[in-house]
Amino acid sequence: MSTSFAQYLVEQLDALIYLVDMQTCEVLYINERGKKLFGPGDVVGQACYRVLQGRDEPCPFCTNHLLVREFFHVWEHTNPITGRHYLLKDKLVDWRGKTVRMEVAVDITDKENTSRAIKDKLEMQRALVDCVRTFYTAPTFNEAINIILRILGRIHQADRAYVFEYTSGERDEVFCSNTHEWCAEGVAPQKDKLQDLSLDLLPDWKTFLGPEQSIVIRDLEEIRENFPQTYDILKMQEIRSLMISQLNVDGVASGFIGVDNPRHLGEDLSLLWSLSYFVTMEQKKQRMESNILFLSQYDSLTGVGNRHSYMRLLSELESAENAETGVAFVDLNGLKSLNDREGHTAGDIFLKRMSEVFARHFSKEELFRIGGDEFVIICRGISAQLFKKKLRSMRAEAENLYPGALALGSVWKKSEASPSEMARLADKRMYEDKRRHYHDRNRELRPVPPATATQ
């Protein structure tokens, strides 16, 4: 094969090929592919480290000392000028009477990106497996979520990983609190500062949420002009970028899980989406347990304590220190006839409205519904005068809404009184009051119209 034909073949190759003087680092030859990449000036005659690597001095990773004639030294490198990743093959060759370095560079960027994407996917899958295993093996959810946030934060090389949960206020306002947090070494925790925050502080939050109920802010500066309030809040926390996945329980937003300043896989939300599912399942479980606990202690219709809570309190008071105590039994007259005449919905409204009246004069911790129409009030540390005053004002308000609605009996003792005995005496007095009410058999329970009731 002639030298000219061999050179023609080299020029046609898609790979970059060049020769370098090993003593001076001078480029002796570069093919057309190389000229197109590193042109437009003449590369030949210049130092390889300057024109090919953009450096002012020889490369610290130069492989000259590793080269032989018999075989290629193979390695990989990302070129800072082209921004591409290359598979490099170097060896010693003879050129015009001297031994020189020859390098063949094949662009494998696309292949490397595919390989890296597969590697990243496998890394994410391993992390997810670790998280799922932790969810099922950790003794408590709090222990599990702390481990999982560490896994999440580390795989994304983030500053913080966290969970925020929403709660509702008395006026239906929505607040969010940072309930769990992991911080990288050297990063200041933010959890204690991020409690009971009104969502009104983040008016743009819903704007950021896409169809997948997630937020990716790649560069905080990009939202500075259009969303200044959100920008200022995030800037104060030294957030430059973030990824968030919203939590939803039964179709209603219940919080979010996310990471701040992710440096790795900054647009891959797959792990966040998966973890949001498990956190949501835990939220559902906690709500069910909370509801079960509530129902075990409180009356579901009126929200006051139930018979179980009443009996437990009586038992506790038997061994408690002596204190001024007031006990009242209340029976709602005419509930059965109201149910029969107007239906159970009307009866339920009657029960709820009366319990609301009671709660305006006594705390809910002092109120108990122990039967269909029976309520008990137990007050500790109250004077006789104040106790009787509260009962009079409560009865007056109830009579204004439903005339003749209450049968009431009460007992107050200063000390050395058995709560159970007091309850029995109050119950007896209530029935005496009830008999007086039913002395008039023609009397029916009728609510006063609202305009009259509020006068």
91 closest CA partner among 106, 102, 77, 75: 102
204 closest CA partner among 178, 229, 168: 229
261, 159 Cβ separation under 8 angstroms = yes
Measured between its terminal Cα atoms, the distance across the chain in Å is 115
State pTM to two decimals.
0.58
| The pLDDT value given to residue 11 | 58
27, 43 Cβ separation under 8 angstroms = yes
DSSP 3-state assignment of 6?
A: helix
| The pLDDT value given to residue 379 | 92
Looking at the DSSP bridge assignments, the partners of residue 165 are 177, 255
181, 162 Cβ separation under 8 angstroms = yes
**Cα–Cα separations (whole angstroms), residue 134 to 148, 152, 377:** 7, 12, 47
Query: Which ranges in the chain are annotated with CATH 3.30.70.270?
Result: 307-453
Superfamily per CATH, domain 114-294: GAF domain (3.30.450.40)
H or E segment and range at residue 166: strand 160-168
- Strands 85-95 and 98-107, by their bridges, are antiparallel
Cβ neighbours of 313 (radius 10 Å): 19
Name the DSSP letter for residue 21.
-
Strands of 197-198's sheet, edge to edge?
Answer: 197-198, 174-183, 160-168, 252-260, 242-249, 214-217
Query: Which ranges in the chain are annotated with CATH 3.30.450.40?
Result: 114-294
Per-residue pLDDT of the chain (455 residues; tens, 9 = 90+): 444 544 545 555 678 999 999 999 999 999 888 888 887 678 999 999 999 999 999 999 999 999 999 999 999 999 999 999 999 999 999 999 999 999 999 998 888 777 777 888 889 989 999 999 998 899 988 999 999 999 999 999 999 999 999 988 767 788 999 999 999 999 999 999 999 988 887 777 777 777 778 999 999 999 999 999 899 989 999 999 999 999 998 888 899 999 999 999 888 899 999 999 989 988 888 888 878 888 889 998 998 999 999 999 988 888 777 778 899 999 998 888 888 889 889 989 999 999 999 999 999 899 999 998 999 999 988 999 999 999 999 999 999 988 888 999 999 987 667 888 899 999 999 988 888 766 654 455 555 444 333 33
| The pLDDT value given to residue 455 | 33
408, 391 Cβ separation under 8 angstroms = yes
**Cα–Cα separations (whole angstroms), residue 230 to 68, 206, 219, 236:** 61, 12, 13, 10
| The pLDDT value given to residue 156 | 95
**Residue 263: what residue type?**
R
Burial of 230 (0-12, 13-18, 19+ CB in 10 A): buried
184 closest CA partner among 146, 227, 154: 154
Place of tokens 């008039």: 440
Query: Which ranges in the chain are annotated with CATH 3.30.450.20?
Result: 3-107
Q: Which two tokens stand for residue 169?
A: 């206020």
| The pLDDT value given to residue 415 | 66
What span, in angstroms and rounded, lies between the C-alpha atoms of 380 and 414? 10
What span, in angstroms and rounded, lies between the C-alpha atoms of 403 and 397? 10
Domain 3-107 sits in CATH at 3.30.450.20
Cα 194 to chain centroid distance, Å, stands at 12
Superfamily per CATH, domain 307-453: Reverse transcriptase/Diguanylate cyclase domain (3.30.70.270)
What span, in angstroms and rounded, lies between the C-alpha atoms of 158 and 127? 15
272 closest CA partner among 241, 249, 242, 243: 243
Q: Which two tokens stand for residue 47?
A: 């130092």
Name the DSSP letter for residue 64.
G
